[in-house]
Structure 1
Amino acid sequence: MLCATRPIKLDDGKAYKHKKVEQQTLQHNTMKVQILSKKFVKPSIPTPPGLRNYNISFADELAPTVNLPLILYYPAANGNTATANLVSVSSQLEKLLERTLTLFYPLAGRYIKQSRLVDCNDQGVEYVELAADEVSDPLVAIQVNIFECGGLAVGGCFSHRIADVSTMASFICGWATLNQTKSTHGIFPSLDAASFFPGRGLDKFSMNLPRSMKNAEFKSATKMFAFNKKAISTLRAMCRSPRVSSVQLVNAILWKALIGVDREKHGRSRASVLIQPVNLRGKTNPPLAQHTLGNLWGLGTTQVKAGDNMAFQDVVDLLDGSIRKYVKDCGDVLSNGEDGYEVVINPFLESNKTMSNSEVNFCSFTSWCKFPFYEADFGLGKPIWASAVNMPLKNVVIVMDGKKGDGIEAWVHLDAADMPMFEQDSDIIAFAT
């Protein structure tokens, strides 16, 4: 098991831009953290001048101003607690990161809000916490932590302005593939999203999100609830819809619990709307490439009316039906001109209206399942766990594959005052750990 004591961010002194931090020590609960340096890492080959401007798509324009965080955890190999080998591994990771950025060169640039494009200026990615949409903000931050027990954690934070979870997975797995094969064959990203979805100068999908915890108008709480194989099998046995996915079974339990929390808070059953991002890759005709960089997703929307008392099966049917319909509609997005554009844009516009309605319980669930994070081998074997992190959100759920591959982990972000009620929901008690 990974030992979480005294992680150290490494520095080999070979950074392109090197900002020394003299003996900076952070105390976090019982964990002592030493930050030795902060640095930028640039592409190994400079981006040609002809590729300097990367135009974002209208789907990128709609993306919320947040960052996508992920942490991969690796155990100590064969009980080895020596840090010398891990220092070497970290140095190798940095060199391979330079090569990976050569392929994903827009991620090493900076987003220009006024022009709605990425200046591919090779300023690089940085090992720092980042915010989105400012000209000085890196679009990717990477942090490598070494633990005294010999374990290692690789954290990544990606600006949602030009990256969705599929882009994040392509980047991380491409980075790991370089470590395994030393070859770039098979990991070239497609950078032509704007040719399919040209920019239109749209307002971003706000979701009323703060840029950081300190700017939030509420105190947020994040907890992970695990649904193991047995719990999902039990839920499936309760359901008359054999084709429904495990993700929608878990989402039905989670949404039903959030509706119950809202009813307890307000003393009545209010309308509730749930949005679920749907990855467009592989669902359009013709299909978009799997490793297309950018935000290539639409919103599947499901609504429960005020006063409705929904049983588990009812919620499952609603979720499954709305997502199946949206996936079918996405098939003609590329071939139907303006009608196809509206299939993507209209749910965003409607959701922005819904979020401003104080009489609607608005929830957002996103699935990171089936992305190959557990295949990311940087030379230390495959990760023993992949996790999201605490974010300044409420009524937002991120579901991920369980670390054993046969369950689902739900990262639930709520107003801190709502978390105790959510944890006491009878279905959460019965099915989640």
Structure 2
Amino acid sequence: MASLPFMITRNLENLMKMKVEIISSKFIKPSLPTPPTHRKYKLSFFDQLAPPAYPGIVFFFLSNDKNHEAQAENDNVKWLKQLEKSLSDILVHFYPLAGKYVKEDLLVDCNDQGVEVFEARVHNISLAELVHGRPELVDSFAPTAMAMASSNPSPVAAIQISTFEQGGFAVGMRISHKIIDGFTQATFIKEWAIASKEGIEKAMWPSFELGSLFPARELSDLKPHPRRDQGVKKLVAKRFVLDAATISTLKAKVVGVSLDLIPTKSSSSESGTPPKRQPSRILVVTALIWRTLIDIARAKHGYLRPSVLSLSMDLRERTGLQPPKNPFGNLFTHSTARFMAEENKMELHDLVFLLKEAINKTSEDYANVQHGDDIYSMLINHYNENGADKPSNADFFYFSSLRKFSCYEVDFGWGQPAWVTTTSKPVELISLMDTKCGEGIEVSMTLNEDDMREFECHPDIVALSSAEILTRALPKDSLRKFSCYEVDFGWGQPAWVTTTSKPVELISLMDTKCGEGIEVSMTLNEDDMREFECHPDIVELSSAEILTRALPKE
């Protein structure tokens, strides 16, 4: 017999009724004018090579008073005014964000037109309900990327502040990747929060010297990328959370592999030498996803294919050129790991080895450069190798990581966010970031729908979920007291109440802690359980991120 506890925690009717209504918009200008000498902010060649995208990030904050709607409304008004005032102050420090991007001139016209801020009201859904929902719903809480990209000159940044009827609010923003990278975006958000909570005098000033250190170029060495296949399948976005227990299990699988040594043909994980240090969380999670995607490609094509993984890497404090402190702009590269079917094995530790080797090599290469021309050549070589010159028989996967950006430390003055997440992507991309507790990793994936379907049903992923490790990223205090969960022996109410496994085939139903979901405990024969987990109706639920594991929250 096989037992599978799971929860259906979504209220589909509420999801369908959810409405995010834009009720106003205004431009927030810097509180002090930008000096004429700073009117033109010139881009660097890092900015030139950055993708023409408007990646979005959304911070969700819970209300301090969930019982009084009038108080929640008053709080929302107060928060909105405080956010607008502090935004105006911090734009003095980050003045290019209040300008216009002039593509032809490779510069930002810092004309102080301001950042457009949209005020929105969220109807028919609470924050606790939203985080159970589908990833694409998050896009409603950030400005529309298409509208921003369609104008020329185009805005650099836009922000949306959404308030919930039952209290709480969300701050979503999009900033042009042609102007800044994720590190600078995270820095701006943190400094904005400091200006809001502690005052503008506590916020730091970034430096704007990257355009002088790495001036824009003709890019004559950059080969045009081949056009994408117009018949490409529909993209699907999903979000998974791997908690500390999952990651510990994955790390245990690579015990015996020394990550302090770059693997060579003479070095082997079979030597029995214990590792001097454990692999990072990012390494093992990335290796797990990569191995699954390699296996999916093998099943699709009928043979094991070469696979290339490109992982974004921040270059601050990694080059021999000593860039200025707190540089504003793009300053990142990519580390490329290659899996060759005839040379490499697919064990988890083998892929961890390949990733670590690639990261170490990239770090060493950039640490040894002494001139901007060398960095330019390295960047061009990377983009050509992974673009125009990439082999047609290899699969390419692109990963980015936000896990060192301390997003959950952002505090505008009324507490840290309950949930931070990114908007969906228009391309196939896997993004990794820390969970609120700092020990798990949230994985946001965009794949074509066939590959996503295979990914969710892959044995490695099912093995995690059937062990009740794969869970959703819920705010800790989104659960409500109800039924069995009111039991208190004197040391608090239970985090989880459930039934034991059954010696016969039986399906049991009971309330979840929040009182709005249903926990289903199933005991079936092994073959039927396997078919049940992969049945289209059940896969459809999980593809809507409705099917979640019955675990206490982190």
Pair 256,362 (structure 1): closer, same or farther in 2 beyond 3 Å? same
2:373 equivalent among 331, 338, 341 = 338
Q: 1:75 to 1:290 in 2, by over 3 A?
A: farther
Cα distance in 2 for partners of 1:231, 1:205 equals 42
Q: In the alignment, is residue 417 of structure 1 matched against residue 450 of structure 2?
A: yes
Q: Equivalent residue for 1:54?
A: 41
Q: Distance in 2 between matches of 1:206 and 1:67?
A: 21
Count of residues paired in the alignment: 402
Give the TM-score normalised by structure 1.
Answer: 0.87
Which stretch has the larger CA shift, 264-273 or 346-355? Answer: 346-355
- The answer to whether the aligner puts 1:428 opposite 2:461 as a matched pair is yes
Instruction: Return the letter of the residue paired with 1:100.
Output: I
What is the match of residue 68 of structure 1? Answer: 55
User: Could you report, residue by residue, the CA deviation over 1:302-345 in whole angstroms, capped at 9, with x for unpaired residues?
Assistant: 11124555211111000011001111211133x24533432333
Consecutive unaligned residues of structure 2, counting only runs of 5 or more, are 1-9, 119-142, 260-276, 465-469, 472-554
Deviations 1:245-295 (A, max 9, x none): 210110000111111121222222222111111100121235334521111
**Corresponding position of 1:350:** 385
Aligned to 1:401: 434
Q: Distance in 2 between matches of 1:84 and 1:45?
A: 29
Q: Distance in 1 between matches of 2:227 and 2:144?
A: 17
Q: Which residue of 2 aligns with 1:384?
A: 418
Task: Describe the superposition over 1:95-131 as per-residue Cα deviations: whole angstroms up to 9, x where unpaired.
Answer: 1111111111111111111111111112222234234
Structure 1 residue matching 2:201: 3-state secondary structure: coil
DSSP-derived class of the 2:154 partner:
coil
Taking the aligned partners of 1:381 and 1:83, their CA distance within structure 2 comes to: 17
2:493 aligns with: none
Q: Indicate if the aligned counterparts of 2:62 and 2:168 stay in contact, CA closer than 8 A.
A: yes
Counterparts in 2 of 1:34 and 1:249: CA distance versus 1, 3 Å = same
Alpha-carbon distance in 1 for matches of 2:341, 2:102: 42
How many angstroms does 1:73 deviate by? 0.8
1:324 aligns to 2:324 (yes or no): no
| Cα 1:94–1:243 shift into 2, 3 Å | same
Aligned match of 2:404 in 344, 357, 370? 370
Deviation for aligned residue 1:165: 0.5
Structure having the higher Rg = 2
Q: Secondary structure at the match of 1:67?
A: coil
1:171 and 1:205 mapped to 2: Cα distance?
33
Q: Displacement, 1:206?
A: 8.2
Alignment CA distance shift 1:363-1:179 (3 Å): same
Instruction: Determine the C-alpha separation between the residues in 2 that align with 1:104 and 1:246.
Output: 33
Give the counterpart letter for 2:398 in structure 1: S
Contact 1:402/1:408 (<8 A) preserved: yes
Match of residue 161 from structure 2: 144
CA contact (8 A) 1:132 1:139 kept: no
Deviation, structure 1 residue 361: 0.9
**d(CA) in 1 for partners of 2:226, 2:181:** 19
Contact 1:63/1:205 (<8 A) preserved: no
Conserved in 1, the CA contact under 8 Å of 2:236 and 2:448? yes
Could you tell me how far apart the structure 2 residues matched to 1:39 and 1:337 are? 40
Task: Choose between structure 1 and 2 for higher RCO, CA contacts under 8 A separated by at least 6 residues.
Answer: 2
Q: Given the two structures, how large is their TM-score scaled by the length of structure 2?
A: 0.68
Partner of 2:193: 176
SS in 2 for 1:77: coil
Inter-partner Cα distance in structure 2 for 1:363 and 1:167: 24
**CA–CA distance in 2 between the matches of 1:143 and 1:317?**
42
1:161-200 residue pairs with structure 2 within 5 A? 161-200=178-217
For 1:113, the equivalent position in structure 2 comes to 103
> 1:90-109 to 2 correspondence within 5 Å?
90-109=80-99
Separation (CA, whole Å) in 1 of partners of 2:365 and 2:324: 19
CA shift in 2, pair 1:207/1:144, >3 Å:
farther
Q: Tell me if structure 2 keeps the 8 A contact 1:299–1:348.
A: no
Match of 1:36 in 2: 23
SS in structure 2 at match of 1:176 = helix
Shift of 1:427: 2.0
What's the C-alpha RMSD, in Å, of the aligned pairs?
2.5
| Mean CA deviation greater in 303-312 or 271-280 | 303-312
Letter in 2 for 1:426: P
Shift of 1:29: 2.3
Mean CA deviation greater in 131-140 or 51-60: 131-140
Report if aligned partners of 1:258, 1:422 keep a CA contact under 8 Å in 2.
yes
Name the counterpart of 1:284: 319
Q: Which residue does 2:253 correspond to in 1?
A: 238
Distance, in Å, in 1 between the alignment partners of 2:244 and 2:449 is 29
* Identity percentage of aligned residues: 38
Partner residue in 2 for 1:154 = 171
Shift of 1:39: 2.2
Q: Secondary structure at the match of 1:417?
A: helix
**Which residue in the other structure is 1:15 paired with?**
none
Q: Is the 8 A contact 1:64 1:205 kept in 2?
A: no
